[in-house]
Amino acid sequence: MIFSRLIPTIVGTAVLLVVLGGCASTSRPYTLGSIRTVDPDTMAIAEPEDKPENELWDRIDMTVVHQLEKPLDLHWTGRQIGRALGTAGPREADNVNVLGEPPNSSWYTRRHYYREMSPEALARGPNTTGGPASEGTWTIVSGKFEGASPGFVIEDDRGDRYLFKFDRPAFAELSSAAEVISTKILYAAGYHVPENYVVYFNPARLRVGEDAEVAEEGRRRPMTETDVQRMLADLPRTEAGRVRAMASKYVDGRPVGIWEFEGTRDDDSNDRVWHQHRRELRGLRIIGSWINDADRRAANTLAVYTDQRYIKHYLLDMGGTLGSRAGGPKTSMHGYEYLVDPLEITKSTLTLGLYDRPWLFVDADSLI
């Protein structure tokens, strides 16, 4: 009799424990705490030194060293084993709020996902000036010595500077279109990018500045009108004789070099989160895979010391996205593996070549 009276109490207690246990099992408990939407990493700092760019080391680091570092990192290896066994989850980013979201910062601004942008705003992207001044002379102040695309830097009559890059004649519009489109996508996703425009211009508007230089046989010498004519000679023209170019506006502030995808910057007291554990940089991998950004590395980043005395972090050079790579069309390998990929090499070696790499049998025509 006593036991039968206790049955409802026991059952009720069991149900309560199950409910409470289910609530407690959520990975992120409900909170009434404040939701941080801004990271105060824009405090004034002393002017930093330039961080030099080493193109050769950057390629070696991303191609070989980075691939070997991962298995040698016991934290990374242990977590990968734990995830495979189902005993560990992914390491959460260090700069997220209680909702697991990245706040506004010198790296990122919450845009389209958080507040839907209109089609007009998406098409405009970061652009505010409309491109180089439509009237007056464009003065060439320097040549472009890095990267696969030839070009130069001009200054218009408003005092704005733009980097001009040109498509390869055999693939007109490919690289410039990819860069402008991907710039707008990355801007909508929240990243800091420069204003990039497709422009058509009459070469007669160009004037070579007194300090403009070109590289020749490993040395720099003063640029001449002949150099400009030679650079533009093989480019296609419109019926009106205009040349197409991608014009990238210089951002405000003083460039202080590149930023890395790992570690932090020693001379920036605002830089407190290891870059590999920043949510926005982790998310960049997903977006980069979507637009096939096969050249996203430190050499294509820019750290700028702003007038407000903090460092702002930009992504540059989106000419290696979509179907474009180094001014020409991508090969099927791009987007599947690294130039030197230890994992893929190991698979091929252990199977004596029987392992088929996925990209080997991709027919580019079938993707059109």
**Confidence band for 183, pLDDT divided at 50, 70 and 90:** very high
Q: What is the mean pLDDT of residues 69-74?
A: 75
* Inside any domain, residue 152: yes
Q: List the one residue out of 305, 366, 235 whose CA is nearest residue 51.
A: 305
What is the Cα–Cα distance from 106 to 272, expressed in whole angstroms?
Answer: 12
* Inside any domain, residue 324: no
Q: What is the dihedral angle through the alpha carbons of 244, 245, 246, 252, rounded to the nearest 10 degrees?
A: -130
What is the Cα–Cα distance from 203 to 18, expressed in whole angstroms?
Answer: 76
* Inside any domain, residue 314: no
Query: What's the chain's length in residues?
Result: 368
* pLDDT one-digit tens code per residue, 79-88: 788 888 887 7
- In angstroms and rounded to an integer, the radius of gyration of the C-alpha atoms of the chain is 26
Q: What is the pLDDT of residue 101?
A: 92
Cβ(97)–Cβ(91) below 8 Å: no
* pLDDT one-digit tens code per residue, 298-334: 999 999 999 999 999 999 999 999 989 888 888 888 8
Percent over 70 (pLDDT), the chain: 88
Q: What is the pLDDT of residue 30?
A: 61
Q: What single letter denotes the amino acid at residue 67?
A: Q
Q: List the one residue out of 39, 5, 361 whose CA is nearest residue 190.
A: 39
* 3-state secondary structure at position 99: coil
What is the Cα–Cα distance from 237 to 245, expressed in whole angstroms?
Answer: 11
Q: Give Cβ neighbours of residue 319 (< 8 Å, ≥ 6 apart).
A: 147, 148, 149, 165, 175, 176, 178, 179, 246, 295, 327
Q: What is the mean pLDDT of residues 127-144?
A: 91
Q: What is the mean pLDDT of residues 57-62?
A: 74
* Inside any domain, residue 176: yes
Q: What is the pLDDT of residue 11?
A: 43
Give pTM, 2 decimals.
Answer: 0.83
Q: What is the pLDDT of residue 13?
A: 47
* Inside any domain, residue 211: yes
Query: What is the residue range of 156's domain?
Result: 120-252
Q: What is the pLDDT of residue 326?
A: 81
Report which of residues 345 and 119 the model is more confident about. 119
* Inside any domain, residue 23: no
**Confidence band for 362, pLDDT divided at 50, 70 and 90:** confident
Report which of residues 354 and 284 the model is more confident about. 284
Q: What is the pLDDT of residue 280?
A: 96
pLDDT at 112 over 90: yes
Report which of residues 132 and 332 the model is more confident about. 132
Average pLDDT of the chain is 85
- Hunting for tokens 């979201």 — which residue is that? 101
Q: What is the pLDDT of residue 149?
A: 67
Q: What is the pLDDT of residue 21?
A: 44
HSE, CB side, 13 Å, CA atoms: give it for residue 104: 7
Residue 331 vs residues 1, 15, 230, 285: alpha-carbon distances, Å:
81, 60, 29, 20
* Inside any domain, residue 141: yes
Q: Give Cβ neighbours of residue 51 (< 8 Å, ≥ 6 apart).
A: 256, 257, 258, 259, 265, 303
What is the DSSP code string of 22-72?
Answer: HHHT-SS----S----B-------PPPPPB---HHHHHHIIIIIHHHHHHH
pLDDT at 141 over 70: yes
For the chain, the domain total comes to 1
Q: What is the pLDDT of residue 20?
A: 41
Q: What is the pLDDT of residue 10?
A: 45
Lowest mean pLDDT among 243-252, 307-316, 333-342: 333-342
**Confidence band for 45, pLDDT divided at 50, 70 and 90:** very high
* Inside any domain, residue 89: no
Q: What is the mean pLDDT of residues 148-156?
A: 85
Lowest mean pLDDT among 166-170, 290-294, 332-336: 332-336
pLDDT at 352 over 80: yes
